[in-house]
A = this chain, B = another copy of it.
Amino acid sequence: MTRFAVTTLGTGAALPARGRSPSAQVLDANGSLYLIDCGEGTQERLRASGANFQRIRHVFIGHLHGDHYLGLMGLISSFHLMGRSGPLDVHAPEGLQAIIDLQLRTSRTFLRYPLTFHIIRPENGRTLLEDEHVTVHGLALRHRLPCTGFVFREQPAPRNLRKDQVHRVPHFERNAVKAGEDLVLDDGTVVPNAELTVAPPPPRSYAYCSDTAYTPGIVPFIRQVDLLYHEATFTEQLAERARETLHSTARQAAMIAREAGARRLLLGHFSSRYKNTEVLLAEARAVFPSVEASSDGCTYAIDQRTIV
Residues 18-37 of A at the B interface (beta carbon under 8 Å): 21-22
A81 at the interface (CB under 8 A from B): yes
Q: Are B107 and A103 in contact (CB under 8 A)?
A: no
Instruction: Give this chain's copy count.
Output: 2
Q: Is A240 an interface residue (CB 8 A)?
A: no
Beyond A73-B70, A99-B106, A102-B102, whether A81 also contacts B14 by CB under 8 A is yes
- How many Å lie between the Cα of A89 and that of B6 in the bound state? 41
| A43 and B16 contact, CB distance less than 8 A | yes
Q: How far, in Å, is A51 (CB) from chain B's closest CB?
A: 15
Nearest residue (CB) in B for A15 is: B81
Closest B residue to A41 by beta carbon equals: B41
- Asked if A157 is an interface residue, CB under 8 A from chain B, the answer is no
Contact-residue size bin, chain A (C-beta under 8 Å from the other chain): 35 or more
Say yes or no: B145 contacts A108, CB within 8 Å. Answer: yes
Q: Does A65 count as interface, using CB distance less than 8 angstroms?
A: yes
Q: Is A78 an interface residue (CB 8 A)?
A: yes
Give A77 to B40 CA distance when docked, in angstroms.
12
- Beyond A40-B41, A102-B99, is A78–B108 a contact (Cβ under 8 Å)? no
CA distance A64 to B73 in the complex (A): 13
A107 pairs with B71, CB closer than 8 A: no
CB-based contact A16/B145 at 8 Å: no
B interface footprint on A38-73 (CB within 8 Å = 1, 0 otherwise): 001101100100000000000000001111001101
12 A-B contacts (beta carbon < 8 Å): A16-B44, A16-B78, A21-B44, A40-B43, A41-B41, A67-B74, A67-B77, A70-B74, A98-B102, A102-B102, A108-B144, A108-B145
